[in-house]
């Protein structure tokens, strides 16, 4: 019983520490916007703010790859890839177009 209690408490403490060491993130896992250092900040503080702001903007605007990109030509069916001729018509381009 004492061994089980010791293992459980060690597991809970290690989980708690691991959660505390995670970087702070906002809603839906987005990073928090950096705080503006103020109008009277030193050039070093402004440079650090600029670096953090650039990283924040790049994180929010980076292109997303993966599942969303793969679902473009599936017709709503998972695991099925449709040819351009069987896809729903988008414009007036015929199926025998040389670029399709």
Question: Structure tokens of 96?
Answer: 């025998």
For every one of its 100 residues, what pLDDT tens digit does the chain have, with 9 covering 90 and above? 788 888 888 888 888 877 777 766 666 677 789 999 999 999 999 999 999 999 999 988 887 776 655 555 555 555 666 565 555 555 555 555 555 4
**Which class for 48: exposed (0-12), middle (13-18), buried (19 or more C-beta within 10 A)?**
middle
pLDDT at site 13: 87
Number of domains in the chain: 1
Residue 29 · residue 21 · CB < 8 Å: no
Residue 36 lies in a domain: yes
Structural domain of residue 48, as residue ranges? 29-62
Residue 53 lies in a domain: yes
């Amino acid at each position: 019983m004492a061994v089980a209690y010791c293992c459980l408490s060690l597991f809970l403490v290690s989980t708690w520490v691991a959660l505390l060491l995670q970087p702070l993130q906002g809603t839906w896992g987005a990073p928090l916007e950096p705080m503006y250092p103020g109008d009277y900040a030193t050039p070093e503080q402004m440079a650090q703010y600029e670096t953090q702001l650039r990283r924040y903007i790049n994180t929010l605007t980076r292109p997303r790859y993966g599942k969303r990109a793969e679902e473009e030509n599936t017709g709503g069916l998972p695991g099925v890839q449709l040819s351009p001729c069987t896809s729903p018509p988008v414009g007036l381009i015929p199926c025998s177009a040389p670029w399709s």
